[in-house]
Amino acid sequence: MSALAAPAAPARTTATSAAQRTPQLRAAATTQALDRQAARIRRRTGPTPPTRPAPGLRLATGTAAGTVVPHPSLEGAQRPRDWDRLRFRPALEETGARAPALSAAAADLPDPARFAAVVVTAAAEVLSGQRRADHLARWTTPELFEALARRAGLARRLLGCAPTRLRPRSVHAQPPSHGTCEVTILLDDGARVRAAAARLETFRGRWLLAALEIA
């Protein structure tokens, strides 16, 4: 009996190995089917385009999540030590005459040199933070007043107030012509002397500071 049962052992071994290979064959067949399906989809839709970040979005590289990435401060938020707060050259639009052209004698206007010395010095004090801008509202044109107030506000936020005041050293006025007068002034702040050029215009019987440049 034992001699007759011996040949049956290889059959059981073959059946066991086939049963072990069946899951592997099924997995390989499933993988091949998925690959074929993906190939058919690529043929229909074309190649997948590379992903790109949205405009304005920067992707952090080499930085762990939750890490604070340092960025340089904005230039406007710094305190520029070499910024000259008194250098003033606004871009003003020419608005033409504000009143009929009058001679200084006909309108009985004050001395343009003396008026310019006072108002230009006050404008420099506004730029240095020593005087409020609204003190010039009556003596300047609206365009120049807006430029002075905007520049003085920026200088005050960035630099605070200047420690010294200015005083005029010399004033030279051209003879008034057609209701305007050109004036040059030297301003002394104790550390350096600055040159200022101003244009005065007549308005309702008085002078207005219409343009100003300080170098």
Q: Specify whether the CB–CB gap between 88 and 213 falls below 8 A.
A: yes
pLDDT for the residue 214:
95
- Contact between 130 and 160 (Cβ < 8 Å): no
> What is the identity of the amino acid at 203?
F
Which CATH architecture describes the domain 109-214? Roll (3.10)
Can you give the pLDDT at residue 20? 58
The whole-angstrom separation of Cα 206 and Cα 200 is 10
Return the pLDDT at 74: 41
How far is it, in rounded angstroms, from Cα 153 to Cα 132?
10
Q: Which residues does 69 contact at the CB level (< 8 Å), separation at least 6? A: 60, 63
Tokens 């099924």 locate to 26
DSSP element (H, E) containing 79? none
Here the tokens at position 128 are 């240095």
pLDDT at 147: 95
Contact status, residue 172 vs residue 192, Cβ threshold 8 Å: no
pTM exceeds 0.95 = no
Contact 90, 197 (CB under 8 A): no
The rounded distance, in Å, linking the Cα atoms of 28 and 122 is 90
d(CA 112, CA 177): 12
Task: Note the pLDDT of residue 40.
Answer: 74
What residues of the chain score a pLDDT lower than 50? 1-6, 11, 15, 56-57, 59-60, 63, 69, 71-78, 97, 99-106
**Other beta carbons within 10 Å of 158:** 14
In the chain, the DSSP E strands lie at: 167-173, 180-188, 193-203, 206-214
